[in-house]
Amino acid sequence: MKKFITVLLITLSISAFSQNKGKALLQEVSAKVKSYDNISLDFKYVLENTSENIKQETRGDVVMQGEKYRLNILGITRLFDGKTMYSISPEDEEVTISSDNADEEDNITPSKMLSFYEDGYTYSMDIEQNIKGRKVQYVKLTPIDSNSEIKHILLGVDKQTKHIYNLIQIGKNGTKTTLTVNSFKTNEPLSKTLFTFDDNKYKDYYINKLD
């Protein structure tokens, strides 16, 4: 019995140490991100579900400044000015306007990629990999909410720059979503109107306003 208790205490100590190291690393990442005036990312997005024979791959880019962002993916521009979300689809000639940044909680978009992990997860250190000459340390995040559609997330952090290299999200339905950062630029000169919706450019578009 004493041996069992000793093993249990060692296991719990290792687990707590791993969680503390994982949380400390992500706190470094968060502090680094918040030190920038703006961030521009080019990324690759892959969605896979082998049981459903699904694999979708695309590229996109996003510029973020505080809560504001401009995201381009799958031919659609999503513009959030801090209060209102505009989804602009040139193919459909339609603009959908919503009153806030109403992304679903379990849907980790590039705009939330740099901060979503701050709440709602437990952390543990995972593997370290050498990827294209850089050392990437993975932290495993498990949702505290047992009803979450997410099984777990692996967040890859470049150990030298303390920037996020990639994010691998595993859903309970077997879907695997991977976001890989191809370029990470900071404090770029931005147009004053980058996050401003100009309705004069979309006079011929159907405007769909959501409550």
pLDDT tens, per residue, the chain with 211 residues:
433 332 322 222 333 334 568 888 888 888 888 899 999 999 998 999 878 888 999 999 999 998 889 999 889 999 999 889 999 999 999 999 997 655 544 455 555 666 777 778 888 899 999 998 999 999 999 999 989 899 999 999 999 999 999 999 999 998 999 989 999 999 999 999 999 999 999 999 999 988 6
Put simply, whether the predicted model's pTM sits higher than 0.75 gets the answer yes
Q: Which of 161, 106, 119, 149 is nearest to 23 (CA)?
A: 119
* pLDDT on residue 22: 81
Phi, psi of 186 (to 5 degrees): -130, 155
Residue 199 and residue 87 in contact, taking contact as beta carbons nearer than 8 Å = no
* pLDDT on residue 210: 84
* pLDDT on residue 95: 95
Q: What angle do CA 58, 195, 189 make, to 5 degrees?
A: 90
Task: Enumerate residues 6+ apart whose C-beta is below 8 A from 60.
Answer: 42, 43, 45, 71, 72, 73, 74, 110
How far is 146 from 151, CA to CA, in rounded Å?
A: 9
